[in-house]
Amino acid sequence: MGELRIIERIRARTSASNAVPLGIGDDCAILRPPPGHELLVTTDFSLEGRHFRRDWHSPASVGHRTLARGLSDLAAMGAKPLAAFLSLALPKSAVRNSSWLDGFLDGLLALAAAHNVPLAGGDTSQSPSDDILADIVLIGTAPAGRALRRSGARAGDLLYVTGALGGAAAELTSLSVTPRRFRTASPTDDHPHLFPQPRLAVGQTLLRRRLATACIDLSDGLSTDLAHLCAASNVAAELDLAQLPLHPVAATLDERAQITALLHGGEDYELLFTASPSTKIPRSVANVPITRIGRILKPQKKRPQMSIVSDGARFELQPHGWEHLT
């Protein structure tokens, strides 16, 4: 397969859409955003050896995860996906034999179909090394001035999370020990690491119903992403350890590892958001449970930016770490 054959193979699996009057095949794609909307753009690398390993992740998982990371960024801002662009660098072996590419497209295009995201273009090249590199660009839309941001949290707001935490980290640990057990994993089962589900419907509902004051997606882990939200909003936050929803996949870990997975496990791709205490937040949105996990405080010099309360004791929470407060 040459570059043209690869592009043709990808194009054959995509279809026209109202939002994309011109997709793969010309020098540029043409997009048609709804009137009165702004464009939101996010881009994410998926690099072999850094974000995935071919001996751990099936091609379909790599395709799914590549798109999921971009979609989760759109979800965090309450945006609706308009189109995706995929740049791929494939090593010689994967150019000659299309089976890796076909599996990758199976995973990527199944998730794209589930969320109605047209693949509108990209770039294809032979990788200069033996590594596969994929870059995804997602374009989304939101009503002008309404996109959710990290910076809107205010002291007194309550802190919520979608779904459950720690599952992706726990599954990654099992994957590293027994990769063969996961060879046939499919997105229809609950696989928080291999097939994370971006929370687009929740994000769009938060925006449409004006429920959230700030929002971020959990890609780096709760402690790190909460720190980002606090910094952007110039506030402090307090978590209630007992309220953090543990993913069932993490329930087999010992207690200490569970707490680490909850607080610091990355790649859950859930949404962390704040809402005014006078806003009634539903217990679930689009079949995704929502849990109140803490509150936003005024920043004070003598108080850490983030703390956890557990059994009446208070701990300082640092990104990727925690310490007892005296």
Report the site for Mg ion in 193-222 (rule: CB under 5 A). none
- What DSSP state is assigned to residue 36? T
How far is residue 135's CA from residue 47's CA, in Å, rounded to a whole number?
Answer: 8
Which amino acid is located at 219 in the chain? Answer: S
Q: Output the DSSP codes for 89-126.
A: EE-HHHHHSTHHHHHHHHHHHHHHHHTT--EEEEEEEE
CB of 11 to ligand ADP, least distance (A): 7
* C-alpha gyration radius of the chain: 20
How far is residue 290's CA from residue 163's CA, in Å, rounded to a whole number?
Answer: 6
How far is residue 174's CA from residue 166's CA, in Å, rounded to a whole number?
Answer: 13
Q: Which among Mg ion, ligand ADP, none contacts residue 90 (Cβ within 5 to 8 A by kind)? A: none
Report the site for ligand ADP in 143-202 (rule: CB under 6 A). none
How far is residue 273's CA from residue 148's CA, in Å, rounded to a whole number?
Answer: 9
CB of 26 to Mg ion, least distance (A): 11
CB of 125 to Mg ion, least distance (A): 8
Q: How far is CA 183 from the centre of its chain?
A: 22
Residue closer to Mg ion by CB (options 2, 282) is 2
What string marks each residue from 68 to 87 as x (binds ligand ADP by CB under 6 A) or -? ------------------x-
How far is residue 208's CA from residue 226's CA, in Å, rounded to a whole number?
Answer: 23
Backbone dihedral region for residue 143 (phi beyond 0: left; psi -120 to 50: alpha; all else: beta): beta
- What DSSP state is assigned to residue 22? B
Residues 6 or more apart whose CB falls under 8 angstroms from that of 26 comprise none
How far is residue 276's CA from residue 212's CA, in Å, rounded to a whole number?
Answer: 8
CB of 123 to Mg ion, least distance (A): 4
Question: Judged by CB under 6 A, how many residues of this single chain contact ligand ADP?
Answer: 13
Q: How far is CA 152 from the centre of its chain?
A: 20
* Site stretch for Mg ion (CB under 5 A), options 92-100, 123-131, 177-185, 260-268: 123-131
What string marks each residue from 241 to 280 as x (binds Mg ion by CB under 5 A) or -? ----------------------------------------
For residue 123, state whether it binds Mg ion (rule: CB under 5 A).
yes
What string marks each residue from 16 to 35 as x (binds ligand ADP by CB under 6 A) or -? --------xxxx--------
CB of 69 to ligand ADP, least distance (A): 16
Which amino acid is located at 110 in the chain? Answer: A
Report the site for ligand ADP in 92-131 (rule: CB under 6 A). 119, 121-124
CB of 71 to Mg ion, least distance (A): 23
CB of 30 to Mg ion, least distance (A): 16
- What DSSP state is assigned to residue 28? S
Residue closer to Mg ion by CB (options 123, 130) is 123
Site residues (vs ligand ADP, CB under 6 A): 7, 10, 24-27, 86, 88, 119, 121-124
Site residues (vs Mg ion, CB under 5 A): 123
